[in-house]
């Protein structure tokens, strides 16, 4: 019991450190050159991974791969996206595959049990996401130097985002509401990052991208931790 309490306390410490680092990253991005902010990315990934490890007692290699590939894609995006676009896209695709793998145990729900009582909200949400993402892609696609891996990267992004937004409609377990936060964070991060890259050089957009990126990763890890306590997604939650 004492060991569990100590692990719980350590987990809270690492979660707090993760939040502090994300705030420092946002502030550093606002006041310093981008290159000087790179030191915060591995610190964020490390503390977030340790938070999950202390909370679950599991050394998740897939989660580590997700955090590392996401971190590298964000850093290289900031350094020179146009030059290293294929590397960024490949890293992003890898991180999305890890994301799906981590959700694999949670998404095993028989499609025959899906409910249609929220069909209108589902349609409105899907159309809203499609409009935002579609309009942004319409603006930036002519500016992308190489579409070879960028298009598959966009497809993987859309699959993950739609999954996060739609799944809570089909399984109304209370913790699934976190998936909306994750999906919304992904859309907001992507939107702000590409606005800064191709539309406006206002530093506030990349600061917002960092904040949304940190938010969605923290919420995702919290969701994974809580999901371990979801013994089953029975019919009461469908």
pLDDT, averaged across the chain? 82
Q: What number is the average pLDDT over the span 105-115? A: 56
- Alpha carbon distance 56, 54 (integer Å): 6
CB atoms within 10 A of CB 144: 17
Per-residue pLDDT tens digits for 117-131? 556 666 776 677 777
Q: In this structure, are residues 179 and 168 in contact, taking their beta carbons and an 8 Å threshold?
A: yes
Question: Tokens in use for 23?
Answer: 């705030």
Q: Is 171 helix (H, G, I), strand (E, B) or coil?
A: coil
Per-residue pLDDT tens digits for 30-68? 888 888 888 999 999 999 999 999 888 889 999 999 999
Q: What number is the average pLDDT over the span 209-236? A: 78
Which is more confidently placed, 225 or 116? 225
Both ends of the chain: CA-CA distance in Å? 35
pLDDT at 36: 82
Question: Tokens in use for 111?
Answer: 């499609």
pLDDT at 176: 75
Q: Is 194 helix (H, G, I), strand (E, B) or coil?
A: helix
Q: What number is the average pLDDT over the span 179-196? A: 88
Which is more confidently placed, 161 or 88? 88
Q: Is 62 helix (H, G, I), strand (E, B) or coil?
A: helix
Percent of the chain at pLDDT above 90? 32
pLDDT at 202: 86
Q: What is the CA radius of gyration of the chain?
A: 18
Q: What number of residues does the chain have? A: 238
* pTM: predicted TM-score of the whole model, two decimal places: 0.85
The band of 234, judged by pLDDT with boundaries at 50, 70 and 90, is: very low
Per-residue pLDDT tens digits for 136-157? 888 888 888 888 899 999 988 8
The band of 116, judged by pLDDT with boundaries at 50, 70 and 90, is: low
């Amino acid at each position: 019991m004492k060991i569990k309490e100590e692990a719980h306390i350590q987990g809270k410490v690492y979660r707090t450190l993760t939040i502090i680092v994300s705030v420092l990253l946002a502030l550093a991005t606002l006041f310093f050159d981008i290159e000087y902010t790179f030191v915060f990315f591995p610190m964020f990934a490390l503390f977030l991974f340790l938070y999950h490890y202390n909370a679950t007692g599991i050394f998740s290699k897939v989660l580590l791969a997700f955090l590392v590939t996401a971190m590298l894609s964000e850093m290289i995006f900031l350094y020179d996206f146009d030059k290293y676009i294929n590397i960024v896209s490949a890293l992003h695709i890898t991180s999305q595959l890890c994301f799906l793998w981590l959700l694999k145990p949670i998404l095993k729900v028989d499609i025959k049990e899906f409910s249609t009582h929220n069909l209108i909200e589902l349609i409105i949400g899907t159309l809203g996401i499609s409009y935002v993402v579609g309009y942004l892609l319409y603006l930036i696609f002519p500016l992308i130097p190489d579409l070879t891996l960028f298009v598959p990267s966009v497809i993987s992004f859309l699959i993950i985002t739609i999954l996060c937004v739609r799944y809570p409609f089909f399984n109304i377990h209370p913790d699934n509401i976190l998936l909306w936060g994750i999906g919304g964070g992904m859309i907001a991060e992507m939107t702000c990052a590409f606005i800064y890259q191709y539309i406006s050089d206002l530093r506030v957009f990349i600061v917002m991208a960092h904040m949304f990126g940190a938010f969605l990763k923290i919420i995702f890890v919290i969701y994974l931790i809580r999901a371990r306590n979801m013994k089953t997604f029975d019919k009461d939650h469908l």
